[in-house]
Amino acid sequence: MKLAGMKVSLDLKNKYQYRTGVMIAPVLSVVLAIIPALCGFSLVGNHIDFSGFILIYDLFFYMLIIGPVEEFVFRVYLQDTFVSFFEEHKWLGVVIASFLFGLWHIINGNVVQVLFTFGIGLVFGFAKYKIKGCGYVGVSVAHGLYDFLNTIVRMLIV
């Protein structure tokens, strides 16, 4: 990143980013986790037994590690790099980074998992790219919270 001259703007005091992330995550969770689970199939994994330890562990794991790390790699580094390549069609950078984000998740499942994760990547990517004031912190919060909400769905609904 230093060689490319890229700079990361955290803007941790921007409350709008947190609100945006907190609004995106439950919508994704309802559409991709709760509704399918209530219809009898799961897009977020198999049932796990309720455990307070797992809830607390997953909250910290997803909010402090998975969300920030994956969003840094795919939204800050890759997406920003690809967007800078396409001067007239910057949205292609978002699509390419989202595709790579989906492809990265093949380790979790199958091609269906890749397609849904690609869609989730598009939501996070366009949120960062198009929503004014929503940057890395906002999509990191959305990503971490979405993954944590999936744990709750797997415990209580699936």
Secondary structure (DSSP) of 44-69:
S-------HHHHHHHHHHIIIIIHHH
Q: What pLDDT, on a 0 to 100 scale, did the predictor assign at position 1?
A: 55
Q: What pLDDT, on a 0 to 100 scale, did the predictor assign at position 110?
A: 81
What pTM did the predictor assign? Answer: 0.89
Q: What pLDDT, on a 0 to 100 scale, did the predictor assign at position 158?
A: 77
> Residue 26 carries which side chain, given as an amino acid letter?
P
Stretches where the chain sits below pLDDT 70 are 1-12
Q: What pLDDT, on a 0 to 100 scale, did the predictor assign at position 86?
A: 86
